[in-house]
Amino acid sequence: MADFAEIDALLDQANAPPPETIHTANSEPSANTHFPNQQSHTDETYFGRLSSVWLTELNSPTLMPYHESLVSDINELMDYQQDLIDTKTDSGNKSMKGALEISLYQLELDRFRYLVVDYCRLRLKKIEEHVLHYMTNFQVSKIVLYTSTSTST
């Protein structure tokens, strides 16, 4: 088992993470990073934005507006990161550095996946609990419209 000094040395020797990875709140995206449906993101990262949206939905008694562009961007990035993990796993890199890198990418992916799934679960729970309210309001047309367009693709 490696100690922390050995792990720190390995991480210090490693190059910066590839620009294709999802950037967490502790890292800044590089200028070469490709984000699908890119918008101008100032200091906020995808993880920070998703955490904020998730916490708002969690603590709000009503259904908040759906952040379709954020969720779709994160889903695209998660798919890409999963492909990256699969590629690195299939390459047969048996070194400790390679295993640690794959483990960190998978951990980061699991964090994003949890937030996206829980965000959608919270929204569905609110809709199910107050279905009559949303059926009598104009908001139901937006929910139905979004559901029909997302399931048709």
105-126: pLDDT as tens digits: 999 999 999 999 999 999 999 9
Taking CA atoms, 89 is separated from 13, 80, 95, 110, in Å, by 20, 14, 11, 16
| Closest C-alpha to 83, from 22, 37, 31 | 22
DSSP 8-state secondary structure symbol assigned to residue 28: -
Listed in sequence order, the residues at least 6 apart from 45 whose beta carbon sits closer than 8 Å to its beta carbon are 23, 24, 25, 27, 28, 29
Mean pLDDT to the nearest integer, 59-82: 92
> Is pLDDT larger for residue 26 or for residue 84?
84
Looking at residue 1, its pLDDT comes to 44
Domain spans of the chain, in order of start: 43-58+65-153
* pTM given for the model: 0.60
Angle between helix axes 96-129 and 68-90 (nearest 10 degrees) is 150
Residue 46 has pLDDT above 60, yes or no: yes
Residue 25 has pLDDT above 70, yes or no: no
Q: Please, which pLDDT band fits residue 146 given cuts at 50, 70 and 90?
A: low
